[in-house]
């Protein structure tokens, strides 16, 4: 990719810190390991949502895909997997929503197939119209940058009440089998000892 | 909490950057929103796993709880929700594993109930022996710092083969109902239109 020398903002975080395309690349490598196209696009999507969201509102987030987009949200807002302000709802749609955690009103930003058509390399990547080795990664990044906000649509949404509830762990007790602590509402022994442990 | 002036390392990241207790507090506030006790502890747990893991190995991570620990992993390694190198397996156990993504050999670090007993305020918090308003947050932080690595146990594990497979999205197509793109293996219409959308 050509060295970016312009100072045009690409995205911002919840505190208002602005990232140029180039600065955001460094941030992506540091957090996600590499500047994935979906994450580049995701940065702009979070920016659009933040821009429309009333300042000072406490918000939670939904990512409708488990690919890339959750990381754009985690990098640019305080909504994370570990604090559960980020909800990944695996619908496989490239869309995110920031919503008021009290009343559920939100802004949904989504990649709009109708608007992507003029950008052939974005189409090649997103719909896998060409095998990955034949895709032109530099052109893809240039098209993502040039397209900017033009490939998204935005709408206001009302998030369902179950996403407004605070999660509760209940009582914690020690498992009589492995001896480790677990939420007692999981059963008499922990889920690991019930056969769900990821080890062989 | 008393101002920390010592330079004792509390944790490090995958690149070897070292954080003191105080520096890690700033990092937690910036990523997670607040310095949650489970996240303070989690930093040390990641540190223990990284220390025992052979340098240069490509690793993935498992968190056995959805609370806090996934964020310690995301903050200190390149394993994230969005790149799927982090797997949250909701067993409700306060344990994490870093594992070789090729052969599945790993290091599991877990909070060990037997070793926590000398630390009354950690017990009060973890088992909710006192209602939250009666817990002493400053004492809790002091005990977490003083306990250091003493409250964990470590063992070598073999991660099950299903955690070594690369995820695959398959073909992407447009939903005839909403018009948005989705993985065609989800059905003839997207999951959002099948009734799984988080909106009302």
Written as one string, the DSSP assignment of chain A is: -PPP----EEEE-TT--EEEHHHHHHHHHHHHSS--HHHHHHHHHHHHHHHHSPTT--EEEEES-SSSHHHHHHHHSS--TTTT-EEE-----SEEEEEETTT-EEEEEEE-HHHHTT-HHHHHHHTT-S-GGGS-HHHHHHHHHHHGGGGEEEEEEEB-GGGTSPP----EEE-TTT--EEEGGG-SS-TIIIII-SB-
CB contact (8 A) between residue A78 and residue B163 = no
Confidence (pTM):
0.95
**Rounded-to-integer distance, Cα A115 and Cα A151, Å:** 5
Q: Please tell me whether residues B154 and B184 are part of one structural domain.
A: no
The two tokens of residue A24 are 């955001």
- Residue B1 inside a domain? The answer is no
Q: Please tell me whether residues B125 and B191 are part of one structural domain.
A: no
CA distance A197 to chain B (A): 7
Residue-averaged pLDDT of chain B: 95
Chain B residue closest to A72 (CA)? B82
Report whether B123 contacts B162 (CB < 8 A).
no
Residues of A in Cβ contact (< 8 Å) with B187 = none
- Residue B142 inside a domain? The answer is yes
Chain A residue closest to B58 (CA)? A33
CA distance A82 to chain B (A): 4
Q: Please tell me whether residues A95 and A68 are part of one structural domain.
A: yes
Q: Please tell me whether residues A128 and A144 are part of one structural domain.
A: yes
CA distance A97 to chain B (A): 10
Q: Please tell me whether residues B105 and B183 are part of one structural domain.
A: no
Q: Name the residue facing A83 among B33, B81, B95 (closest C-beta).
A: B33
Q: What does the pLDDT look like over A110-169, one tens digit per residue?
A: 999 999 999 999 999 999 999 999 999 999 999 999 999 999 999 999 999 999 988 888
Is A125 touching B (CB cutoff 8 A)? no
**Rounded-to-integer distance, Cα B139 and Cα B145, Å:** 10
- Residue A57 inside a domain? The answer is yes
pLDDT at A7: 86
Q: What is the CATH number of the domain that holds B175?
A: 3.30.60.80
Q: What is the CATH number of the domain that holds B14?
A: 3.30.1330.130
Q: Please tell me whether residues B118 and B187 are part of one structural domain.
A: no
ipTM associated with this complex = 0.95
Q: Please tell me whether residues A116 and A190 are part of one structural domain.
A: no
- Residue B159 inside a domain? The answer is yes
- Residue B3 inside a domain? The answer is no
- Residue B77 inside a domain? The answer is yes
Residues of A in Cβ contact (< 8 Å) with B186 = 92
pLDDT at A1: 53
Report how many domains make up chain B.
Answer: 2
Q: Name the residue facing A110 among B78, B114, B180 (closest C-beta).
A: B180
Chain B residue closest to A91 (CA)? B191
Q: Please tell me whether residues B123 and B193 are part of one structural domain.
A: no
Q: Please tell me whether residues B91 and B24 are part of one structural domain.
A: yes
Q: What does the pLDDT look like over B55-93, one tens digit per residue?
A: 888 899 999 999 999 999 999 999 999 999 999 999 999
Share of chain A above pLDDT 90, in %: 90
Q: Please tell me whether residues B156 and B185 are part of one structural domain.
A: no
- Residue A1 inside a domain? The answer is no
Share of chain B above pLDDT 70, in %: 98
- Residue B200 belongs to what domain range? 168-200
Q: Please tell me whether residues A161 and A189 are part of one structural domain.
A: no
Of the pLDDT bands very low, low, confident and very high (cuts 50, 70, 90), residue B109 is very high
Is A77 touching B (CB cutoff 8 A)? no
Q: Of A121, A128, A166, A157, which Cα lies nearest the Cα of A142?
A: A121
Q: Name the residue facing A198 among B62, B92, B191 (closest C-beta).
A: B62
Q: Please tell me whether residues B145 and B199 are part of one structural domain.
A: no
Is A107 touching B (CB cutoff 8 A)? no
- Residue B67 inside a domain? The answer is yes
């Amino acid at each position: 990719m050509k060295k970016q020398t312009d100072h045009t903002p690409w995205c911002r975080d919840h505190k208002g810190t602005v990232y140029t395309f180039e600065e955001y690349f460094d941030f992506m490598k540091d957090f996600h390991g590499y500047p994935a196209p979906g994450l580049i696009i995701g940065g702009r999507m979070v920016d659009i949502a933040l821009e429309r969201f009333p300042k000072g509102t406490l918000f939670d987030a939904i990512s409708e895909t488990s690919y890339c987009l959750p990381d754009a949200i985690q990098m640019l807002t305080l909504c994370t997997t570990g604090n559960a302000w980020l909800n990944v709802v695996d619908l496989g749609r490239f869309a995110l929503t920031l919503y008021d955690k009290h009343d559920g009103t939100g802004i949904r930003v989504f990649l709009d197939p109708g608007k992507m058509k003029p950008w052939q390399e974005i189409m090649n990547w997103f719909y896998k119209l060409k095998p990955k080795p034949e895709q032109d990664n530099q052109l893809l990044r240039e098209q993502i940058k040039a397209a900017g906000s033009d490939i998204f649509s935005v709408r206001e949404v009302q998030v369902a009440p179950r996403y407004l509830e605070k999660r509760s762990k209940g009582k914690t007790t020690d498992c009589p089998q492995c001896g480790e602590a677990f939420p007692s509402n999981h059963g008499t022994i922990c889920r690991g000892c019930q056969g769900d442990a990821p080890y062989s």
